[in-house]
Structure 1
């Protein structure tokens, strides 16, 4: 059975190979087809190759087991990689915007019609990639893989914008030669917006923002099945890589021994990790039910 790490790595290799060949196809078609919108797309896909390689490194490093120097594991490395991926998005959007403005101010030939066929194929491929990688990110709870999925979606949108711009340039005739450059410029702003959508949850993750009410609810449900558990009070969940760490307050009968309370806490921890495999560890504080 494939682990979350295996699923994430396979999805990332798909991204790397797909972006490499698409960047090549876009660059060649854009150069010979007189379309900067396609060349801009190729630039973004090239940065996608680099960012996907970074995601691959982050996934492999973040899933390393805990050691004496990193008792909570290496999971936060994945969040840092997500920030780096956002940086790649911002850089590529900036390059596209600058070059688009330059091309708008410089007369050039109308793009070739066959560029529309290439763009239509690219839009379909990138949307399929987005759905595959996004599904894997949901399955593995990987924030960097989610960022990689959004790279595919933003690429599909920029390709669609390029398609619209080139179609206008071709079919509207003289005076509309820069339509594909305007499309590339518009796409750069969309990329920046996507970068924010990726950055915001990653920031919440690294700041331990309260985001996991669904997991807390599942934890409390599991607790009701463990003999000796009277109640659960405070429950805090924080994400580290593709797993979660939990701090939980457990209420037990105040008349039992410390050893018995300890045993109940261990049974609860084992039950939680068994029923919710994405939880890596649970720290339980045991309290008696007769506290004033």
Structure 2
């Protein structure tokens, strides 16, 4: 039997829904922008505040915590870029949209954070090794407490908005706020030790070193994740298997195979081959392909487009 393939071809520019097409989408866009912009402003204020107090109050740990707030600010910027460029429609020069700008920004900002984290770790390690440590002043305690309260409140609000909008990226950003609160708690503990006894003044540099490692871990995650997406690394294997099982469940679909996925920003473009009974009409095959596409996009909210190739069932 001669093999034939029916391919559901996209237009020259992939279909994209207009983010401003409904009151609900406008509300969601505004809600995501509002919580992220306010978060960015808070992070900027905290970073400057902690850096100034840490510098004048002789606390390396608080300076490192200020840089941690900068890492949250960078995450806010990436989220804003994602919201902005993710809602720009595809055009004649960018058939797959503009989402990779978000990924490039992640990589650049992540590399910047890695450099800063290494510098902080080196300075803290040198201070411990050469015992060049000055006892922090009591005002640094106030800065740490303000940071803890601010970031915990920001975490709870951002998470609530993310859950309401069903936005994974906003929820992830909320957890970045929580990690900043945790690092501020560590800084506060270290500062309390330094105020208890001058013999424990080294704790400030120790906490600074720990926070530097935390920043380095976050920065590496941002950078490596961006590199993986920009070189078209596939999603995790369990995501792929789940999608195959979903496709198999669709009526009329036989032997889904050659499932391929790639990231464009944090979104996914997908392509899959399916087999159908050889005696059905072209229209029926097309309808099955359309149904599969619709089902996948409903199940995986980060999937933008699915190309379904329809083939006659082998030995059918």
Distance 2:76 2:59 in 1: 26
Q: Indicate the SS of the match to 2:306.
A: strand
For residues 17-62 of structure 1, the C-alpha deviation after alignment (integer angstroms, 9 at most, x for no partner) is 1102212332343245332322332244346435533542343124
Structure 2 segments unaligned to the other structure (5+ residues) = 1-23
Q: What are the equivalent positions in structure 2 for 1:1-292 lying under 5 Å apart?
A: 1-2=24-25, 6=30, 8-46=32-70, 48-49=72-73, 52-101=76-125, 103-104=127-128, 105=130, 107=132, 109-130=134-155, 133=158, 136=162, 139-142=166-169, 146=172, 148-149=173-174, 151-173=176-198, 175-206=199-230, 207-211=232-236, 213-214=238-239, 217=242, 220-221=245-246, 224-226=249-251, 228-291=252-315
Q: Secondary structure at the match of 1:79?
A: helix
Distance 1:165 1:276, change over 3 A: closer
**Cα distance change of structure 1 residues 47 and 249 upon mapping to structure 2, 3 Å threshold:** closer
Q: RMSD in angstroms over aligned alpha carbons? A: 3.4
Deviation at 1:169, TM superposition (A): 1.4
Indicate conservation of the 8 Å contact 1:12/1:145, yes or no.
Answer: no
Asked if structure 2 preserves the Cα contact closer than 8 Å seen for 1:161 and 1:183, the reply is yes
Higher relative contact order (CA 8 A, sep 6+): 2
Q: Distance in 1 between matches of 2:314 and 2:167?
A: 41
Structure 1 unaligned blocks of 5 or more: none
Pick which of 8-17 and 180-189 moved more: 8-17
* Equivalent pair of 1:62/1:73 in contact (CA under 8 Å): yes
TM-score if structure 2 supplies the norm length? Answer: 0.74
1:273 positional shift = 3.1
Contact 2:133 2:205 in 1 (8 A): no
- Structure 2 CA distance for aligned equivalents of residues 230 and 218 of structure 1: 14
User: Take 1:246 and 1:22, find their aligned partners in 2: how far apart are those partners?
Assistant: 41
* Counterpart secondary structure, 1:183: helix
1:65 is paired with a residue whose SS is: coil
Cα 1:86–1:7 shift into 2, 3 Å: farther
Rounded to whole Å, the distance in 1 between the matches of 2:29 and 2:237 is 21
TM-score, normalised relative to structure 1: 0.79
